[in-house]
Each structure stands twice: as structure tokens, then as C-alpha cells.
Amino acid sequence: MLSQVPIIDSQSEIPVYRQLYIGLRDGILAGVLRDGERLPPTRELAQLMGLNRATVSAAYALLEEEGLISGQVGRGSFVHYRSGALSQEISFATSRPAEELFPLEEVRALTTEVMRQSATAILQLGSPFGYEPLRQYLMEQATAEGVFDPEEDDLLITSGCQQALDLIHKALMEPGETAVVEEPVYPGLKHAFEGRLSLSGTGIKFVTPSFRNPTGYTMTMAERHQLAQGRERLLVEIDIYSRLRYAGEPLPAVRGLGCQHRCLLLRSFSKIAFPGLRVGWLIGPRPLVAKLAAAKQWTDLHSDQLSQAILLEFARTGGLDRHLARVLTAGRERLRVTLETLAAVLPPGSLFTRPEGGMNLWVTLPEGCDAAALLEKARRAGVSYLPGRYFGLSSGFNASLRLSFAGLSPGRIAEGLRRLEPLFSEEARIAARMKEPAPEMAMV
Amino acid sequence: MLSQVPIIDSQSEIPVYRQLYIGLRDGILAGVLRDGERLPPTRELAQLMGLNRATVSAAYALLEEEGLISGQVGRGSFVHYRSGALSQEISFATSRPAEELFPLEEVRALTTEVMRQSATAILQLGSPFGYEPLRQYLMEQATAEGVFDPEEDDLLITSGCQQALDLIHKALMEPGETAVVEEPVYPGLKHAFEGRLSLSGTGIKFVTPSFRNPTGYTMTMAERHQLAQGRERLLVEIDIYSRLRYAGEPLPAVRGLGCQHRCLLLRSFSKIAFPGLRVGWLIGPRPLVAKLAAAKQWTDLHSDQLSQAILLEFARTGGLDRHLARVLTAGRERLRVTLETLAAVLPPGSLFTRPEGGMNLWVTLPEGCDAAALLEKARRAGVSYLPGRYFGLSSGFNASLRLSFAGLSPGRIAEGLRRLEPLFSEEARIAARMKEPAPEMAMV
């Protein structure tokens, strides 16, 4: 099984065998390719990717040299990478909530209740627009907030925010158009648009005004107004973290600042409640939502109805607000420990962002450091994160990395960062040495 | 809101305003555009579809003439179509199970149980491949059946079979390639491939060997062997109805007949259990499944986990088999009543298929009949179905219609078909008259 196929850039200056090697190596180190997983035979992978078989063999040879895979005659190559028991690994790699805060008893009771009341409707085929009681509730809430106009707007339930990105890619992009994003960019956006992205333009623009993934950056009020008055054909406001504010004053959604006719607002229960129940929603002008709903129908007919019903009751009964209060208290402490420990352990010349909420922050090690190469050592020390290069449009951000802190207890955060300290310091020393000018050759 | 935007074919000989009119009319008659729904202002729809405003106005004028929409000054146009209370309508339009057979108490108990045992894992972020316990169960079952090779194959959970089609379109189509289908074709396949379909070729071929939607046709053993030995690069076997066999001997999946290396098998719980819980799966060679899993990740991260856990327990505890036994008894009777009543009510010269299972059958009225035009009258009589033209690659099947019988009680089936009898007879009489040669003009 190959759970992730690397993406090869035929325009790149990096040789293809090396791109393939890097892609597979990163997959192994990030744990996407699991220990014991079998790689396809070189012939098969070559065919699958449209590559020369020798290219694949060269990439496999490099991986074998590094001990990341091992070939077994007649059986193929297997990932061979034990980073200590994975359950003990301290992973800063995933932007996800703290599961120990889930109010399990409450969700169990709500689940029993919605199945008691509405089982038939939940189990029968539904509408592409979503479970109607949830839609009605979300539209009322959004109207009260000033981001929904019942005369002009509509609301579509999606299977999380990721699906909204996919539907926009399918239904709203014009031929030859690229979508405008901010760099560093969330990899899920990069992949949903299959490389049809750029850093400027007046087509569809994606922004995350609050606690942006990966930097945690939050736009000021002035920036929000400026965005609302921009010239882009369509603004897509990704707003999945804003309720996770641990400090400072809440700021309004950009959609409420006078750009409703050309703005889609994307929200989700995944970050504020439970990502395992796949429920998000989008709000926008009716003609656009109609196009997205048509695309949704032919993508998966409609989203799962039981989860929609449970999350509706969770929100309507105040459970979500009570849960968020606990999440904010915990998140505040987690963020504080992360920032304090980073200040203590990072080598001189490092930078890191200081978000006031969300789940992620962004560390940039001194120039010349390679966060992707360091990840291998980090995993041997039982820690993981996402290297910065995953967040670049084409390349760059080699010295950066994303730390997702919200899912880890304060103790684990401190322990994990302390384990990284010696690795970061050594990498910084090596990088500094490389920067010293080498003795020049006499020009003759 | 416009819940479905008509598709305009710029190559067609039918004028665009008329295509738009037909698309909107069909949407209204099929109930996709709901009574009271507001149509976008002509200017807005023109912009949205890239059409001239006058074109849209002409289409609206035709709809107004027929009384299907009504304009209100300053407020726009509204769908104005009451087909009798919709809840009383007898709808043969949707291929879905009988909700009165859902074992609600059993599903409630299973839901409570999985939430008691596995709530944390279910609510937390999961894997693109699906909920691991369900994957393991399905792989074991498929291995025992002979359609899964643990050494060569892998399994991916999808949000229903429709999503598998979308993922195949995204991840496995080569540039410029068309997918091969059988006509009449399920509209969800047509839309998922955005017109990239043809009736012959050696690329990716989609087949539904058992109780095909819409005809109910089932391939013989000889046809299955022939298919398994075909020359197509990839065979996609849609196998979502085969367990709904009311008569005759079960036939094996084509994937088990020696074409495993180039065959994807698509299955789902939607038709055999509950379509509101969106869980399907696909089985195929590892390299292909890996590509599909990568596409799945960037489509919606992963499928909902609570539904996966519930359906696993439903299958594992024997609940699914017990449920299917009841469904088969009921379906057998529903099919029998459908066939007997059709034989009694259809005008001479009509044809209809006689499936041995599934949810659908296909009626073809005498030549010259227009099943789409008849639908309007049918809905006034409180009955609906899907006109044949929805199932053509470009056009055709005007005299045909699909009847989905599985979700209706025998009494409703008989009543619905009897209501159609006079409409069909009149349409057949008119069509016969049109065929009589008109007196020829003298050529001078």
C-alpha cells in the first residue's frame, strides 16, 4: 500500500528521482507512510506515476541507503522506520482539538435523544443542501450576527471545511483562472486546487482572517475593512478558528463588513467541537450557493445526517458554548506554555509567531536551517511537526515549521519542545558554520 | 435560491432560451425546484450562466405562460407549482429503500453502544482510508468472498458510492480520456464525469452487473466472464444492488473472475441499509487505492466516523442480514405488484424491463410519446418518476421513464400506476395520430 503518492513537478530543477525520494522520505518521517507499509514494486510505481522504472529504482536506493525502507527478495520494499512507539510520540503535526476535553457523556445523551426523535429522517436519503433543521438554526444564528441576508443569501452544509474548498474548485473556478492565497498556505488548500494558485490577482481570493493556519496570524480591523473593499471577483473567508480566541477582543467576520454580494463564508464544527463528525457549512449569495449545491450533489449526494443532527442539538442546547468555555481555558494555558517554552529553547536568531488563539503557530529557525531534514532526528527523539516547505506554493520556508499545540497537554508541550532544543541548537550551529565564507581559490 | 442550475449545451440545435426553459421546467416538475422557491432575477441568472439577459427573460416568459412561475413586482419570480400536498404524492422518482422497514430500535441500541465504547476515537480526527475497525471487517468479508487479495489489494471507505465516482474522476482519469459507460446511464455518473463519457473505448469502463440503474438489467455469467477478459485499462464494477435479489440465483462479482489487477469494486450501505448514513467503500489494487485515498484526503479529509462505527456493528452483529431478509421479502412483493400492474395499465406497444432485484425498472412507451412532457400531468395527478432523457448521454430515451419501486408500499405502487394509466393511454393515442401520414401537398 502507498497511502500517499508524492507529487512530481516536471518544471522543477530538482531531478525527478530526487523529488520522488524526498516525497517518500517526508511521507515516512511524517508518519503518512507507516512502519511496515509495503511500497509498490518499482515497475508498478513507475507505471502509476508515468515515470521511468530506473527513476523509481534510484529513489528507492536512496531510501534504502538511509535505512528508511528495506527490500525483501520477492516480496518488495517495506517502510522500516520506528520512531519509538507512535502512541508515545509527542505530535505537534496535526491541527486538532484536545480529545480529553470532549464532553462524552453529553454527546452520548444527545445522540440517544436525536435517534429517539428523528431516526427515520436521519437514516433516509436527504438533501444536497443539508439537514434542514441544522440549516435553519445556522441561518438564524448567522442572521443575528449580521453575516446572512435571508433575502439574498443561502447556506449549504458541507462535509467539513475541506469539502467547501473542493466544491469551490469544482463549481466556481473559471477556465485558466488561478485562486489567490496568502503564503505560507494550508496544504489542504494547495491540494484542493491542484496547483491552480497564485499570490496575487483579482479572481477568487482565499483568506483566513482569524488565527490563520499555519501562522496563527489575525487580521486587524483596518485590514478587514480593506479586504471588504477589495477588487477580487470573489472573497472566500475561511473562518474555522475565530471562536478559539484565548486573549484580546473578538473581531467581526469580513463578510459582515459590506462585501456580502461577493463573499463566501466557510465555517465548521471540526475545530470548535469534533473533527470526527464531518460537518461544516458555507454561506454566500444564492446563485453561488446553488452552483455549489449542484456540485455537492454529484460529489457525495449529501453530508451524513446523524452527525448534523447531533451537532445541531449540541449547539442548540448550549452544549457547544459550555464546551468552548472549557476549550478556551485549556487552550489559553497551552498557548502560554508553548510561547514561554519556545522563548527558552529556540536558538538565537529564531523567530516565532505569537497568536492570540487558534491551534497553530509558526517557528522560523536561523537562516540555513532545514526543518524537514531535522524532522527525522526529531522523530527519533519522539517528537513530530510539519516542516515549513509543505506550506510553500512551490518552494521555500525550509527553515520554518508549524507547531500545532491545541491537542497536547501543557506538560507534553513543554516536554516535546525541550526534546527539540538540542536538535535545533545543533542545526543552528551547523547552519552558522556553512555561512562562514570558504577560503577563496586564487584566480589565475 | 436556485437549487439546480440547468446545463446548457452550446452545440445543441435547440435554442438556448428553450434549453433553459426545459431545464427549469423539468426541475420544477421533478420537485428539485420547490414550490415557493425564488428564482434569481434575470440579470443575475444571466450573469451566473454567462447568458444574454434577454435569453433568460424569454425562458422565464415561457414558464410564466405555463403557470409554473409567477413574477411579483420588485420581488422577483417564484416557483408556483402545487402538485397536491407533496407528502401525498406517490413518487417513483428516487432509488431509495423503504423507510418503514428500518429497524429503528436496533439501530438506536447500536448507536448507544458504539458511543459508549468508542466515543473518543469516533469524535477525533480520523484517517482518509476510513475507520479502521470497519475497514478490517470489510476486508475480511471480501477476502472470504474471493474479491480481495490481502497481498495486492486495499480498501478505501467513501461517503457513499457517489463519492467513489467523484474520486475516480479526480484521481484516475488521464488527460483527454473519456470513461466508457452503458446507456441509459445513471445521472450521477454523467454529472460526476462532467460529460467526459462515451459508449465505447478501452480506458476506464463503468459497469453495474447486477440490477443496473435505471433498467434493472443483470449480466449473465457468460457476460461477466467476457467482461473480466476485456481489454479496458480499468473496469469499475458498481455493485450496490446485488444483495437485493428477489428471485433467481445469485451471481458472483466480476472482480472475482480473474480481473482483480485491473478492477475496482464499488459497494455501499446506502441501498441495503440507510442512505442517510453516507458510507460506501471501494476495493482495488493498492497503487490505485493509494491514489484515490490521496484524492479523498483533499476532498473531505475522511468520511464521518460515527456512521462507519454504527454500520460496522449493524453488519457484525448480524443486524444487516436480518434486515436484508425483511427487505427482500418486501421487495419481492413490491416488484411483483409493479410488474403485474404495469402489464395491466400500459398502452399497447409499450415495453418494460423485468428485473429480478434492485430498486428500478425501465418503461418505454410507444414511439412518439414524450415522458418528460407527461411528467407535468403526472404530477398534477399526484405521481412522479424520472423521464428517460435524464439517462441519455446527450439525447434520446424521450419515450422512456424510470420507475423506482422499492421505497413504495404495494398499495401505493398499484395506486400510482393506475393514476398514470389514462395519461399514458392518451399520450399513446396522440403519438399514434402524429405518425399517420399527413395529406401530401400537390407538387406543382
Eight-class DSSP state of A182: P
Residue B4 reports pLDDT greater than 70: no
Higher per-residue confidence, B12 vs A360: A360
Contact call for residues B145 and B168 (beta carbons, < 8 A): no
Task: Report the candidate in A297, A311, A234 with the shortest Cα–Cα distance to residue A268.
Answer: A311
Show the low-confidence residues of chain A (pLDDT under 70): 1-5, 13, 30-31, 66, 72-75, 81-87, 436-444
| Nearest residue in chain B measured CA to CA from A279 | B304
Contact A278 B304 (CB under 8 A): yes
pLDDT digits (tens, 9 = 90+) for B209-251: 999 999 999 999 999 999 999 999 999 999 999 999 999 999 9
What SS3 state is found at A428?
A: helix
Per-residue confidence (pLDDT) for residue B195, from 0 to 100: 76
* A residues 124-143 lying closer than 8 A (beta carbon) to B: 124-126, 128-129
Q: Does B10 touch chain A (CB under 8 A)?
A: no
Rounded-to-integer distance, Cα A123 and Cα B99, Å: 8
Contact call for residues A97 and A407 (beta carbons, < 8 A): yes
CATH topology of domain A86-100+323-435: Aspartate Aminotransferase, domain 1 (3.90.1150)
Q: Which CATH number fits domain A16-79: 3.40.50.10420, 3.40.50.300, 3.30.70.890, 1.10.10.10?
A: 1.10.10.10
- CATH no., domain A103-320: 3.40.640.10
Eight-class DSSP state of B366: S
Contact A121 B276 (CB under 8 A): yes
Task: Name the pLDDT band for B86 (thresholds 50, 70, 90).
Answer: very low
Q: In sequence order, what are the residues at sequence separation of 6 or more whose Cβ sits closer than 8 angstroms to the Cβ of residue A50?
A: none
Rounded-to-integer distance, Cα B57 and Cα B61, Å: 6
Nearest to A96 among B121, B125, B293 (CB): B125
pLDDT digits (tens, 9 = 90+) for B189-200: 999 998 799 999
Stretch B112-120: mean pLDDT? 95
Per-residue confidence (pLDDT) for residue B137, from 0 to 100: 97
Q: A63 CA to chain B: closest CA distance, Å?
A: 19
Higher per-residue confidence, A395 vs B284: B284
Per-residue confidence (pLDDT) for residue A22, from 0 to 100: 79
Task: Name the pLDDT band for B84 (thresholds 50, 70, 90).
Answer: very low
Q: B172 CA to chain A: closest CA distance, Å?
A: 10
Contacting residues of A for B107, CB less than 8 Å apart: 115, 119, 123
| Nearest residue in chain A measured CA to CA from B278 | A304
pLDDT digits (tens, 9 = 90+) for B401-430: 999 999 999 999 999 999 999 999 999 999
Q: A380 CA to chain B: closest CA distance, Å?
A: 23
Stretch B246-258: mean pLDDT? 97
Per-residue confidence (pLDDT) for residue A395, from 0 to 100: 79
In percent, how much of chain B has pLDDT > 90?
75
Q: In sequence order, what are the residues at sequence separation of 6 or more whose Cβ sits closer than 8 angstroms to the Cβ of residue B84?
A: B380, B382
Contacting residues of A for B291, CB less than 8 Å apart: 5, 48
Task: Report the candidate in B123, B149, B98, B46 with the shortest Cα–Cα distance to residue B307.
Answer: B123
Task: Report the candidate in B179, B201, B200, B177 with the shortest Cα–Cα distance to residue B190.
Answer: B179
Per-residue confidence (pLDDT) for residue A4, from 0 to 100: 58
pLDDT digits (tens, 9 = 90+) for A329-386: 999 999 999 999 999 999 999 999 999 999 999 999 999 999 999 999 999 999 999 9
Rounded-to-integer distance, Cα B380 and Cα B86, Å: 11
Say how many C-beta atoms besides its own lie within 10 A of residue B384's C-beta.
Answer: 20
Q: Does A118 touch chain B (CB under 8 A)?
A: no
Of A314-323, B29-38, B42-51, B122-131, least confident by mean pLDDT is B29-38
Q: What is the ipTM of this complex?
A: 0.80
Which amino acid belongs to residue B160?
A: G
Rounded-to-integer distance, Cα A334 and Cα A98, Å: 10
Rounded-to-integer distance, Cα B135 and Cα B123, Å: 17
Residue B66 reports pLDDT greater than 80: no
Q: How many CA atoms lie within 13 A of A31 on its CB side?
A: 22
Contact B126 A293 (CB under 8 A): no
Contacting residues of A for B94, CB less than 8 Å apart: 125
Contact B3 A129 (CB under 8 A): yes
* B residues 12-51 lying closer than 8 A (beta carbon) to A: 38, 40, 44-45, 47-48
CB pairs under 8 A between A and B: 223
* B residues 367-396 lying closer than 8 A (beta carbon) to A: none
Per-residue confidence (pLDDT) for residue B3, from 0 to 100: 55
Q: In sequence order, what are the residues at sequence separation of 6 or more whose Cβ sits closer than 8 angstroms to the Cβ of residue A175?
A: none
Rounded-to-integer distance, Cα A180 and Cα A217, Å: 17
| Nearest residue in chain A measured CA to CA from B120 | A99
Say how many C-beta atoms besides its own lie within 10 A of residue B120's C-beta.
Answer: 13
Nearest to A287 among B2, B166, B307 (CB): B2
In percent, how much of chain B has pLDDT > 70?
93
Mean pLDDT over each residue of chain A, to the nearest integer: 91
Q: In sequence order, what are the residues at sequence separation of 6 or more whose Cβ sits closer than 8 angstroms to the Cβ of residue B242?
A: B209, B210, B211, B250, B251, B253, B357
Sorted by where each begins, the domain ranges of chain B are 16-82, 87-100+324-434, 101-320
* A residues 185-244 lying closer than 8 A (beta carbon) to B: 188, 191-192
Eight-class DSSP state of A100: G
pLDDT digits (tens, 9 = 90+) for B40-53: 888 888 888 888 88
Per-residue confidence (pLDDT) for residue B82, from 0 to 100: 60
Contact call for residues A407 and A99 (beta carbons, < 8 A): yes
Q: In sequence order, what are the residues at sequence separation of 6 or more whose Cβ sits closer than 8 angstroms to the Cβ of residue B298?
A: A162, A166, A188, A191, A192
Contacting residues of B for A305, CB less than 8 Å apart: 276-277
Per-residue confidence (pLDDT) for residue B279, from 0 to 100: 98
Tell me the H-state helices in A86-209: 104-123, 132-145, 160-171, 187-192
Q: Which CATH number fits domain B16-82: 3.40.630.30, 3.40.50.2300, 3.55.40.20, 1.10.10.10?
A: 1.10.10.10
CATH topology of domain B101-320: Aspartate Aminotransferase; domain 2 (3.40.640)
Contact B300 A297 (CB under 8 A): no
Task: Name the pLDDT band for B1 (thresholds 50, 70, 90).
Answer: very low
CATH topology of domain B87-100+324-434: Aspartate Aminotransferase, domain 1 (3.90.1150)
C-alpha distances out from residue B334 to A8, A277, B239, B241, B361, Å = 54, 36, 21, 16, 12
Eight-class DSSP state of A249: -
| Residue tagged 457525495 (cell numbers) | A300
